[in-house]
Amino acid sequence: MLHGGDGVSRLRLAAGLLGGMVAWLLHLAGAWYIAEWGCQRGFPALALGPLNGVVVALLGLTVATVGLAAGAGMIARRCRRELATVREEGIAAAAGYDTARLGVMLDAAGLMIILVQSIPIFFYLRAC
């Protein structure tokens, strides 16, 4: 039973299901550690024009995790579309279809929370 149904592998389903939330977790833990370390020691090497190094690191982290969450969302959406037509046909496809739907919702939630918790970065562009 390696397949969730009709060609959708469980690995893809799992990635689509949990990718967004994992991305969010990485963003929060990373942002905290960067702020904690950076506001103590600074990251002069990363400074970019008027932006201080800490902010550059934080923005980089945000872009990366937004990408991760969006990517997971895309995987989940594709799984959902592939399973939509066959979900009446068997329990595996039906379960996979709902799992993929859940994944789309979770990834959207992850993406939104990452964006909301990134708001403060833009208020601290010059200093901690």
Q: Residue 36 CB: number of other CB atoms within 10 A? A: 10
Give the DSSP letter string of 74-127.
HHHHHHHHHHHTTTTT-HHHHHHHHHHHHHHHHHHHHHHHHHHHHGGGGG-SS-
The token pair at 63 is 């872009």
Q: Which residue, 74 or 94, is less far from another protein as judged by CB?
A: 94
| Residue 18: CB minimum distance to another protein, A | 9
Residue 96 makes contact with another protein by CB under 8 A: yes
Q: Which of residues 56-85 bind another protein (CB under 8 A)?
A: none
Residue 45 makes contact with another protein by CB under 8 A: no
Candidates 43-51, 69-77, 78-86, 115-123 — which segment interacts with another protein by CB under 8 A? 115-123
